[in-house]
Structure 1
Amino acid sequence: MTFVIALPCVDVKDKACLDECPVDCIYEGERMLYIHPGECIDCGACEPACPVEAIYFEDDTPEPWRPFNTANDEFFTDLGSPGGSAKLGLIEKDHPMVAALPVQDTV
């Protein structure tokens, strides 16, 4: 199990969680951030840092946002395990489900 980032992050990307992650496993896509399931150590440091409450332990993701569990995992299919987001910076893509979402109201 791991932590995942859900809908409230889409089109917000506050990035406060990046500063709290001790293993640099939160990656930036075009419209949201993603937690690498193989690099996350389940420490939970990112969860309270998120101002929009978008981060959940995988089993605790609210039912309407459960597809984000898969999106967080599949985002890394072609990236593999880069070993830290600082090496990559912005990744100019999103999971197809996220890319297909309408622009979120961030006000």
Structure 2
Amino acid sequence: MTYVVTENCIRCKFMDCVEVCPVDCFYAGENFLVINPDECIDCGVCEPECPAEAIFPDSDDRAAAWAEINAKYATQWPNITRKGTPPADAEEWKDKPNKTELLSPNPQKD
């Protein structure tokens, strides 16, 4: 089992989860984070830290469609080990549904 970042993270990208990850398995896109399934140790400490409630175990039905997306972008985006500054409008996007089309394939810019 691994944990998966889902649609709720798009345009929020709070990054509280990154700070608690003991194995640094988060990777950062322009407006989304992913978890590398090959690095995640299934500890679950990230799940309760996410203000957007976007992280679920891969056994959860809400994670199914996102597992492949996490695996794909974890190989393309830079690793992130510290919490950065979330987007200025993150709170406005936190609970909005149907954000999948807004997912940017671009990596985080430094």
Structure-1 residue corresponding to 2:42: 42
Q: CA RMSD in A?
A: 2.5
- Gap runs ≥5 in structure 2: 85-99, 104-110
Structure-2 residue corresponding to 1:93: none
- Gap runs ≥5 in structure 1: 90-99
Question: Percent identity, aligned pairs only?
Answer: 42
How many aligned residue pairs are there? Answer: 87
Cα deviation for residue 74 of structure 1 reads 1.4
After TM superposition, list the pairs within 5 Å mapping 1:25-36 onto structure 2.
25-36=25-36
Flag as ranges the 4+ runs of structure 1 deviating above 2 A: 76-79
TM-score by length of 2: 0.68
Cα deviation for residue 78 of structure 1 reads 4.8
After TM superposition, list the pairs within 5 Å mapping 1:2-81 onto structure 2.
2-62=2-62, 66-78=64-76
Give the whole-Å Cα distance in 2 for the aligned partners of 1:19 and 1:61: 26
TM-score by length of 1: 0.70
Say if 1:78 and 1:52 are closer, same or farther in 2 by CA, change over 3 A: closer
Give the whole-Å Cα distance in 1 for the aligned partners of 2:14 and 2:61: 19
- 1:16-65 CA distance string (max 9 Å, x none): 00111011111111110000111111000100000111000001142xx5
SS in 2 for 1:71: helix
Larger RCO, structure (CA 8 Å, separation 6 or more): 2
